[in-house]
Amino acid sequence: MIPDAFEPWLLLLFAGILPTLIWRMGGVVLGRSIAESSPVFDWVRFVAATLLAGVVAKLLFDPSGALATVPAYGRFGGIAAALAAFFLSGRRAIAGIVAGQAVLLASYFIGR
């Protein structure tokens, strides 16, 4: 099906932008009524950190597009290498990124 001129824009608005927007706006509306010293802030921070780790797991276990052509050991090994390099380099983000990509690309060329 070839989309007509407006269809992609309507789809973007209603199925992409709005479903994302509501959570940020909801956070503002809910968060404004909570005192800054409240332990609720601490709690949501932990929930967010957990969700974040969950998103990483989702992207690794269920990869999309070109990432799916890389062996699983390359994806998981890349993350492990990134963590190791990050901490061994004295918490340098770039060291983690480079190490992770090196392992990923190595696994791509070595293959299964």
Partner 1 sequence: MHGVSPAQLTTFRAVLKGVRDALSLPAPMVAAGLLGVGPLAHAVGHPLGVAVASTLFIWAGPGQIIFFGGIAAGLSPLGIALAVGLSAVRFLPMTISMLPLIRRPGQSLGELLYLSHFVTVTIWSEGLRRLPPLHPSNRVPYYIGFGHTCVVLSGFATGVGYLMTGSAPQALAAALLFLSPLFFTVSIAAGIRRVADVAAIAAGFFLQPLASRLIGPELDLLAVGLIGGTAAFMLDRARNSA
Q: Is 95 exposed, middle or buried (0-12, 13-18, 19+ CB in 10 A)?
A: middle
What is the closest distance, in whole angstroms, from the C-beta atom of residue 22 to partner 1 in the complex?
7
Residue of 72, 73, 77, 86 interacting with partner 1 (CB under 8 A): 86
Instruction: State the nearest-atom distance from the C-beta of 73 to partner 1, in Å.
Output: 13
CB of 87 to partner 1, least distance (A): 7
Residues between 34 and 73 that touch partner 1 (CB under 8 A): 34, 36, 39-67, 69-70
